[in-house]
């Protein structure tokens, strides 16, 4: 049987891969050395037409189903890996059948959870990992996706300013519905508890988990934060007509959580003394979408929020609040963002992300300003950062990029 390749965007290099060999027997020269987690299936990282792709062996039904699900989730603008192709009809040289394969695009600058835990995590970093996973699960549930295998192993994490962003990697057991019942959400949460608890015990056994971290307490924290965020997004709130200011307060709370309110369901009682509100449609990435609309920059939510704060500070410092926001944003791009991005050494641009560099410089400037007792110029702070902190940071990035975990 001839190899069949299903892809929305065919890549010529895919055809030339050795599909007549099991993935475990592919030549080592095809491998791209990247951090990897634990997989149920055989997985290989390969470079095709200049891009890094992830190839996973599985049976044909699951491969086709996961490919379609990932495409649906991407259309909903949910944080998942990008599906590239499904390869079926594979046979070995002796004529025996080989498993089908799902091909996805590698998520740049992302790390599996084991790579994060290979070095001691500060409390803030651990909190960021927990929050990222909670936000991912809530976002999936808001749009009606039942994961069916929520775990750290099926999640990739990417730095976003001082926070993390989490991405779904494995959708093999998932299902997309119009809405999820409380029972379906509860089942996913129970899977989170079971799977993450087991993964943390594995880390503990491998002495990769800080002894101060109690696995059971951590999984309980995940569930508690999920309940808090789900309630903030979907909960019904009642108040009197004299407390209408609470509508704005509710919207600001959701914006602070990274969600934008598209519509509110507002109901008054019979005599009009009480009002009930509930977010009817909520969309994530409020700050990221605002920044992209102003500048064209497509960044993670926390990074976008940090850059918008700098854009607001730039606006105030130059007393141009009355100018067209698009004009101000363009001026900020050309006078601040672009010159600062060009300060990243050319040889490091493969591992240093401009938005993260910008954030790190802003943090460094804050410390310098605290020491000096006055505001330090941004570019002066950048030069000092490049001399003092940057070498250590870029060394850590390169170590993470080349590390592997089985």
What pLDDT was estimated at residue 123? 62
Lowest mean per-residue pLDDT among 14-18, 79-83, 158-162, 304-308: 158-162
Q: What is the pLDDT of residues 220-244, one digit of tens each?
A: 989 998 998 888 777 777 766 666 5
What does the block give as tokens for 37? Answer: 């987690």
Residue 117 has pLDDT above 50, yes or no: yes
Which pLDDT score is estimated for 31? Answer: 83
pLDDT score recorded for residue 83? 93
- Within 8 A by CB and 6+ apart from 69, the residues are 171, 174, 175, 176
- Cα separation, 136 vs 166, whole angstroms: 6
pLDDT at 168 over 70: yes
* CB 146, CB 175: distance < 8 Å: yes
Residue 205 has pLDDT above 90, yes or no: no
User: CA–CA separation, 121 vs 209, rounded Å?
Assistant: 9
Confidence of residue 403 (pLDDT cuts 50, 70, 90): low
> Which of 250, 284, 255, 280 lies closest to 138, judged by CA?
284
pLDDT tens-digit profile of 118-138?
A: 666 666 677 778 888 888 998
pLDDT value of residue 281: 44
H/E stretch holding 64: helix 60-75
Torsion of CA 379, 382, 386, 388, to 10 degrees: 120
β-partners of residue 278 are 265
By three-state DSSP, how is residue 198 classified? helix
Placement of tokens 């509860």 in the chain: 186
Mean pLDDT of 26-42: 75
pLDDT digits (tens, 9 = 90+) for 304-326: 888 888 888 888 777 776 788 88
Q: So what's the pLDDT on residue 406?
A: 41
Strand ranges for 137-258 from DSSP E: 145-146, 155-160, 163-168, 175-176, 237-240
For residue 29, pLDDT beyond 80:
yes
pLDDT of residue 191: 93
Q: What is the pLDDT of residue 259?
A: 64
> Average model confidence (pLDDT) for the chain?
82
Tokens 């300013």 map to which residue? 161
Q: How far is CA 60 from the centre of its chain?
A: 28
Retrieve residue 344's tokens: 């990243």
Half-sphere exposure of residue 63, counting CA atoms within 13 Å on the CB side?
A: 23
Give the model confidence (pLDDT) of 362-398 as tens digits: 889 988 988 888 888 899 999 999 999 999 888 887 8
pLDDT higher at 84 or 163? 84
pLDDT tens for 246-259 read: 666 776 777 666 66
The answer to whether residue 193 scores a pLDDT higher than 80 is: yes
Burial class (CB within 10 angstroms; exposed 0-12, middle 13-18, buried 19+) of 3: middle
Q: Which domains does the chain have, with CATH numbers?
A: 4-105 (3.30.200), 110-234 (1.10.510.10), 237-284 (no CATH), 291-402 (no CATH)
Q: Is the per-residue pLDDT at 280 higher than 60?
A: no
């Amino acid at each position: 049987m001839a190899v069949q390749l299903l892809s929305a965007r065919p890549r010529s290099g895919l055809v030339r891969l050795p599909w007549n060999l099991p993935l475990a027997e592919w030549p080592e020269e095809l491998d791209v050395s990247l951090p990897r987690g634990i997989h149920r299936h055989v997985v290989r990282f390969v470079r095709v037409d200049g891009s890094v792709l992830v190839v996973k062996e599985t049976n044909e039904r699951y491969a086709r189903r996961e490919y379609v699900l990932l495409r649906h989730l991407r259309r909903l603008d949910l944080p998942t890996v990008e599906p590239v192709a499904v390869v079926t009809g594979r046979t070995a040289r002796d004529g025996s059948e080989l498993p089908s394969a799902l091909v996805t695009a590698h998520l740049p600058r992302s790390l599996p959870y084991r790579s994060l835990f290979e070095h001691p995590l500060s409390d803030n970093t651990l909190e960021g990992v927990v929050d990222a996973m909670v936000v991912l699960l809530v976002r999936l549930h808001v749009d009606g996706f039942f994961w069916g295998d929520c775990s750290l192993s099926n999640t990739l994490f990417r730095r976003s300013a001082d926070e993390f962003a989490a991405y779904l990697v494995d959708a093999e057991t998932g299902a997309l519905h119009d809405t999820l019942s409380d029972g379906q959400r509860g089942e996913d949460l129970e899977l989170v508890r079971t799977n993450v608890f087991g993964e943390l015990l594995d880390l503990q056994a491998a002495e990769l988990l800080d002894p101060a971290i109690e696995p059971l307490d951590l999984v309980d924290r995940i569930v508690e934060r999920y309940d808090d965020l789900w309630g903030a997004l979907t909960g019904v709130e009642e108040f009197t007509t004299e407390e209408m200011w609470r509508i704005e307060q509710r919207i600001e709370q959701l914006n602070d959580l990274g969600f934008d309110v598209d519509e509110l369901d507002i109901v008054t009682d019979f005599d009009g003394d009480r009002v009930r509100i509930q977010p009817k449609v909520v969309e994530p990435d409020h700050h990221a979408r605002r920044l992209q609309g102003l500048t064209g920059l497509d960044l993670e939510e926390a990074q976008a929020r940090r850059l918008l704060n700098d854009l607001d500070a730039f606006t105030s410092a130059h007393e141009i609040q009355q100018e067209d926001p698009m004009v101000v944003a363009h001026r900020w791009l050309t006078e601040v963002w672009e010159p600062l991005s060009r300060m990243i050494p050319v040889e490091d641009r493969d591992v240093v992300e401009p938005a993260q560099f910008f954030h790190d410089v802003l943090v460094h400037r804050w410390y310098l300003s605290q020491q000096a007792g006055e505001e330090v110029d941004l570019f002066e702070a950048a030069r000092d950062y490049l001399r003092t902190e940057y070498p250590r940071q870029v060394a850590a990035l390169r170590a993470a990029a080349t590390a592997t975990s089985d």
